[in-house]
Homo-oligomer: A and B are copies of this chain.
Amino acid sequence: MDYVVENIYLLVIVTLISVLQNAFFAQKVEKEGKAHNTHASAFERVSCANRNCMDAYPTFLAVMWCAGLCLRQAPAAFAGIVYLVVRQKYFVGYMGQTSQSTPGFLFGKRVLFFLLLMCIVGIFNYLLTRYFGSDYKEYVETITNAASALLLIP
């Protein structure tokens, strides 16, 4: 697997920076949109929920794949499943809403943050192995597996 990481680690780093930038953009939208929600028709609500989900989709895919390729696929896939469950609840909640207030623009922040952390740890681990020769991957993977269970806590 290290052979793979060697050939993509710069790309992964840029992808991570772009993900952070996406988060910055999304937070701006979230902040501005606070007092914005008015009475919306069913179509507008479902369309808005779909657009919010689709806006975050490439970010999610990028982070999950990078985490899976750089560190280990099992916890990344597990976090992906958790994210999908969160997204489902978000979408259904958005549709069912009939009052003025709709759920915010962002969702699944914790899962995405966990995946982002996995990427960073994987990259750091690779760089450490390359330049210092010491390999913490074993320990890191054990910790990651344990940490991914924490995602289940609501």
Residues of A within 8 A of B (CB): 1, 4, 7-11, 13-15, 17-18, 21-22, 25-26, 28-29, 32-33, 36, 42-43, 46-47, 49-51, 53-55, 57-62, 64-65, 68-69, 73-74, 76-77, 80-81, 84, 87-88, 91, 95
Contacts and interface: CB of A to CB of B under 8 A. Distances in A.
A9 B74 CA distance: 10
B10 A7 contact: no
Q: Copies of this chain, how many?
A: 3
For the residues of A in contact with B, the DSSP-based class is helix
Which of A46, A62, A91 has the most chain B CB atoms closer than 10 A to its own CB?
A: A46
A14 B61 CA distance: 10
Contact of A58 (B42, B57, B80, B81): B57
